[in-house]
Structure 1
């Protein structure tokens, strides 16, 4: 692999690795920030909002239950001997319909009858554990209590009961009344938050039973059966609020809990840690795409710059800086290439050594600046009179060298003579120097065996002969 290609590969890798590292670090930091926001803000906020929603939904039923507990109708009806049960049944049914309650009830402490909108449901008894709520309320110093129990009147559906004491003006306990709210009434609240935040929301009883799960049928009925959560169940059930994490099916889940004292339930907000990645992956892919585009643009510009400077370096390395012709090194390489073709074809190869006559006189009279201009004009003349296949160079000083492929000695001599005559007729050089400028040219041919040193030596000897014969002439090798 060439040096330029290796450099492009190295630079490409450095740029790509740099972008990858930058994108990875940015993704990691963004992910950590998103996770912190999820744990510290979003999940607690969801929990607070749901808690506030539940509290709000309980305000109206509490007000109605308070009204029922202080309603003189129920007090008078109980003290009157509970003679017309249809009256209290109608009363409870109207309350239920008017306020949209799941159930409305009243229990008389005198008869222990449990009334609801459909009539007498049962008699409460201290021996029946399902009636513990009543006797617990009876002993409370306050007027009301909220509890979660199955509703016998509605197929044992789990219901939030808001219980209120019925007492006389002197504080005598007469019974209990209130409303029941179906626990499923807050299902819509949970569904809205699941849809809005993508988090699973559910309630847990103090014993670990799961209520209002977001994935009905797919989730176990107890927190103890929930895969991954087993390790933190005791902490979840014992702490008023907390933040936990667990692993399930190779995925990490975050759990935020809060105890709802009024219902004696634990509100759980659950989120998969990987959900933050879904929002971060599109920017990451865009960043990587942009990085590859930028890398391509940078490499294209770099390649263009390298080619440009390479051409400049090559021109410095291969060109004569004054005339723009090939320098000796470049001419030598070109000779070797042309020689290879002639070795196969066996055709002749001729060489012209061209020297400017009396060049020292030109330099002495006009200075090196004038000498440089003369050499440039002669180089242009030689370049204009060479064939496309020929190879022209500056051999050094005032000497030029012209290689003529597929050319015999006689044809080469004709070319040399034409060049000599052209300069002799060149008025611009004459006007520049105010004297005649001529060329002496030596011509040599090789065929079969090609050697640049021997070829140059033969042409030099012919040139020397031209100098001896009075200059401004062409001489052939002997």
Structure 2
């Protein structure tokens, strides 16, 4: 009987798995769709809002922290003291050195300097003599500044510190003119490159982006701690595709892909230095939180799906078992019903045939059952039938089966029993029932059983063997009841 319902149960389980699979796919697609929408939204936000805003903030702070020395150099170049001193025939070095020391102290610069073109002498806050040697590449910067056009009065360069050996500085070199606009020297200040590196590192830490400076040719001139790799835009993977466009515009927002990841770039020209301030943000870093949320949503979807599956399987199992019990069991006596007995007979017959074992059928009927109902009521009749099943159970084995065949008639399938064994077992049941004292509402009574036994042929259907057992039962009734008869082979 169970095997017959197994395909239907399998179909239900498979359908449930399919439903849960579809449910998970729906959850997954919804989460993925939300992730993709968030991804596009964040990408647009980075490219058009947050990255330009960061670039503006950094530029404003660059203006405050780095452009101030440019103003200082411009102020020095137009200072009447500097021009009057430089125009003297043989000026004393002390006033200029004291002036330069005061500039360093007041504006917190690394070095302030002045070059008098008349004697090509370099003046620093210290008392040492420095002569500009035209044959030394060390002083090429002076010739470059001197050769600047009229509309470009200063130059920003990176070079060796003249006072601190091995240290690099950023110099703002400004041309100085006399009152007739004749070139008389170069003045300016210097900033420590290390100081600027720390400044950029602070910006990078604050904004969580890569920040660096490139010159007009795309060469990296200053960078923070996050910068790693090539020293020019053209040599950077992916950046080379936008380098020409970036260096040809005063500002702009761009993006490129490298290694399967998108990077957003905002660049703007800092005219005081003639350098480009470049701010980069990798999309992957910005999407980590969103992707983590996506994974959490998928995990929750999987958990919900498993919970639904578990609850459904448990509920379906209980419901299926309940339906199976209702469909196969007589609700009054809890014996198998007629349909279940028919299905079970086929299974038992196949099993006995495979094992070369006999199978017998016992049909039992309560004698004068109508009189019990008429005298004591139908409730008493129901009690008789329930007690009868319990009495039968005391004599049969687990491998046997008890079926309510109709009314007060019961069918017992005896697995592995031949006709002689079945007759002996039937007699024990009959004797036990005859001795059983029934009590209902204070009234005691006894009943008797009549029965017929037949041994099942190897391929004999249940209907035929039952006919032979019924014929034996009727013979028992005709012979006076309370007895067991065997059916003809």
Report if TM-score (shorter chain) is over 0.5.
yes
Indicate the residue corresponding to 2:145 in structure 1: 130
1:22 aligns with 2:39: no
Cα shift at 1:246:
1.7
Distance 1:420 1:64 in 2: 124
Whether the aligned pair in 2 keeps the contact of 1:50 and 1:189 (CA below 8 Å) is: no
Secondary structure of the residue aligned to 2:450 is strand
Greater mean deviation of Cα atoms: 238-247 or 366-375: 366-375
Cα shift at 1:335:
2.0
1:356 aligns with 2:366: yes
Secondary structure of the residue aligned to 1:83 is coil
CA 1:441–1:156: 2 relative to 1, 3 Å:
closer
Distance 1:153 1:275 in 2: 38
Distance 1:347 1:225 in 2: 89
Cα shift at 1:465:
1.4
Indicate the residue corresponding to 2:3 in structure 1: none
Whether the aligned pair in 1 keeps the contact of 2:87 and 2:178 (CA below 8 Å) is: no
Secondary structure of the residue aligned to 1:47 is helix
CA 1:370–1:398: 2 relative to 1, 3 Å:
same
Distance 1:417 1:89 in 2: 135
Indicate the residue corresponding to 1:457 in structure 2: 467
Distance 1:98 1:115 in 2: 21
Whether the aligned pair in 2 keeps the contact of 1:50 and 1:190 (CA below 8 Å) is: no
Structure 1 portions without partners, runs of 5+: 138-144
Deviations 1:427-448 (A, max 9, x none): 3356588765432212223465
CA 1:63–1:245: 2 relative to 1, 3 Å:
closer
1:474 aligns with 2:481: no
Whether the aligned pair in 2 keeps the contact of 1:89 and 1:119 (CA below 8 Å) is: no
1:56 aligns with 2:67: no
Deviations 1:158-217 (A, max 9, x none): 73417486878x999987643233555422222334455553222233344332246878
CA 1:23–1:217: 2 relative to 1, 3 Å:
closer
Whether the aligned pair in 1 keeps the contact of 2:171 and 2:188 (CA below 8 Å) is: no
Distance 1:446 1:78 in 2: 135
1:248 aligns with 2:258: yes
Distance 1:428 1:131 in 2: 132
Cα shift at 1:314:
1.6
Cα shift at 1:352:
1.5
Cα shift at 1:294:
4.1
Distance 1:308 1:333 in 2: 22
Whether the aligned pair in 2 keeps the contact of 1:85 and 1:119 (CA below 8 Å) is: no
CA 1:410–1:171: 2 relative to 1, 3 Å:
closer
CA 1:312–1:381: 2 relative to 1, 3 Å:
same
CA 1:406–1:59: 2 relative to 1, 3 Å:
closer
Give matches, 1:66-215, under 5 Å. 68=76, 73-74=81-82, 77-78=85-86, 80-89=88-97, 91-92=99-100, 95-96=103-104, 99-106=107-114, 111=118, 113=120, 115-117=122-124, 118-121=129-132, 129-133=144-148, 135-136=150-151, 147-149=155-157, 154=162, 159-161=170-172, 163=174, 177-182=187-192, 185-195=195-205, 199-213=209-223
Secondary structure of the residue aligned to 2:423 is helix
Q: Which among 38, 45, 52 is matched to residue 46 of structure 2?
A: 38
Whether the aligned pair in 1 keeps the contact of 2:349 and 2:458 (CA below 8 Å) is: no
Indicate the residue corresponding to 1:318 in structure 2: 328
Indicate the residue corresponding to 1:260 in structure 2: 270
Q: Which among 294, 311, 316 is matched to residue 301 of structure 1?
A: 311
Distance 2:310 2:60 in 1: 60
Whether the aligned pair in 2 keeps the contact of 1:102 and 1:181 (CA below 8 Å) is: yes
RMSD: 4.0
Distance 1:171 1:350 in 2: 133
Greater mean deviation of Cα atoms: 205-214 or 299-308: 205-214
TM-score (norm 2): 0.79
Secondary structure of the residue aligned to 2:438 is helix
Whether the aligned pair in 2 keeps the contact of 1:148 and 1:159 (CA below 8 Å) is: yes
